[in-house]
Amino acid sequence: MLNLNNVLPSNSRARRKLVLLARHLNVAVTHKLRKNFFQPTQESTAQFREALVKSYLPSWHKDIELDNRYFDSEEGLREIDNHLFSRLELDRYNFVPWIDSLTPLMGASVLEIGCGTGSVTVALAEQGASVIAVDAHREALEISRLRAHMHGVKNVSFIEGNAKDLKNLVRGTQFDLIVFLAVLEHMNFEERKSALRAAWEILPIGKKICISDTPNRLWFYDGHTSELPFFNWLPDELAFEYSKHSPRYPFNEKFREMNSQSMLSFMREGRGFSFHDIDLALGDDCEYKVISDMKAFLALRNPAVALKRFLASDRKRERLLNSYAPSRHRAFFRQYLDLVIEKVR
């Protein structure tokens, strides 16, 4: 196998230039997709930001009181920017091209579980998909509706409810694709099991479930919730008490007294997910196949991603983890799960 460390120039400045050139060669986002991007007005963006600060973020961080000091801090500004711009851009440039290559979005029927603040909802809908978005968080749904309005997408409907009751929430509706993006890690075990099983039961044979942007419980470092090594390997009670050692505010201040409510809030922060959840949720009577993973797709379409993957030390860790379960698809051993499974039976 070609080792790019032996091919690329050793000079770090030359390497950076090569990476920048590769980014300009990005062919993952075609003109067909790009022409549907809609830029909201400054006024509507300011309104969206105000709703984030006054409604959504305080409701999400309800275990601790947020004030202007947080929203003016580096962490607070990063969180606001993430909801305002970053997630939508990642969904447009990474997630949507990948999904559109597997299930053309124009005219597709999509169910999104856990829409959050609606970034992927808008990214899918602006490409012509008809999207039903479900979330149990009322303030998140309000923000999602506002985002859909400011981006001018009308082919979206929102449902408030817990995904464990999925069959009742979308009774009688069939979908080409069901999306779990950045949500399974925020459910407790019973919710994950029920939601995945319900999604499987309403999905026709040959259609697809996407699990994406989901931190892998098997990975050695938790870059999602705690920013600590081995955190997702710990039992929940031990992780709860150890959370005070996290460098991430306000997560490191939230959890002191353990009870049923505080433990549920802790789980909502994100505890990781793995193929074991899928096995238990679907059971032995179900059969699926992994048909794609996003990193492999982007590496084929985008030279910058391919270059980064060749240089990354994570590839060795992925291979090591995969060696303990070689029958499993490589996508199950990356830091984040970004894969699509197709229902066989």
253 in the same domain as 181: no
145 in the same domain as 53: yes
Query: What pLDDT is stored for residue 313 in this prediction?
Result: 78
Of 254, 270, 286, at which residue does a domain stop? 270
237 in the same domain as 334: no
Residue 14 resides in a domain: no
Transcribe 43-60 into DSSP letters.
Answer: HHHHHHHHHIIIIIHHHH
Neighbours of 46 (CB within 10 A): 11
Condensed to tens digits (0 to 9), the pLDDT of residues 303-314 reads 777 777 777 778
16-20, 40-44, 146-150, 248-252, range with the lowest pLDDT? 16-20
User: Could you tell me the sign of the dihedral formed by the alpha carbons of 120, 25, 79, 315, in that order?
Assistant: positive
Residue 3 resides in a domain: no
Query: Average pLDDT in the 286-314 region?
Result: 84
250 in the same domain as 124: no
Query: What pLDDT is stored for residue 6 in this prediction?
Result: 40
Query: What pLDDT is stored for residue 158 in this prediction?
Result: 97
C-alpha 230/C-alpha 220 separation (Å) is: 5
C-alpha 120/C-alpha 126 separation (Å) is: 10
Q: How many CA atoms lie within 13 A of 14 on its CB side?
A: 6
Instruction: Report the run of H or E that residue 320 belongs to, with start and end.
Output: helix 314-323
Residue 132 resides in a domain: yes
Residue 10 resides in a domain: no
Note down the domain range covering 235: 218-270
Q: What backbone torsions phi and psi does residue 322 show, to the nearest 5 degrees?
A: -65, -30
| Positions of E strands within the chain | 109-113, 130-135, 156-160, 177-181, 208-215, 221-222, 228-229, 288-293, 336-343
* Mean of per-residue pLDDT scores for the chain: 89
176 in the same domain as 192: yes
Count up the domains in the chain and report the number: 2
181 in the same domain as 165: yes
CATH number (domain holding residue 47): 3.40.50.150
Does residue 265 carry a pLDDT above 50? yes
Query: What pLDDT is stored for residue 23 in this prediction?
Result: 46
User: Could you tell me the sign of the dihedral formed by the alpha carbons of 226, 138, 166, 341, in that order?
Assistant: negative
- 166-to-68, 159, 201, 288 alpha-carbon distances in Å: 38, 10, 10, 20
Condensed to tens digits (0 to 9), the pLDDT of residues 184-236 reads 999 999 999 999 999 999 999 999 999 999 999 999 999 999 999 999 999 99
What residues form DSSP beta bridges with 290?
Answer: 341
Residue 15 resides in a domain: no
46 in the same domain as 133: yes
75 in the same domain as 209: yes
Does residue 22 carry a pLDDT above 70? no
123 in the same domain as 173: yes
Residue 20 resides in a domain: no
- 183-to-72, 129, 213, 242, 279 alpha-carbon distances in Å: 27, 20, 8, 23, 18
Residue 187 resides in a domain: yes
150 in the same domain as 297: yes
238 in the same domain as 185: no
277 in the same domain as 265: no
The distance from CA 252 to its chain's CA centroid, rounded to whole angstroms, is 22
Residue 77 resides in a domain: yes
Assign 345 to helix, strand or coil: coil
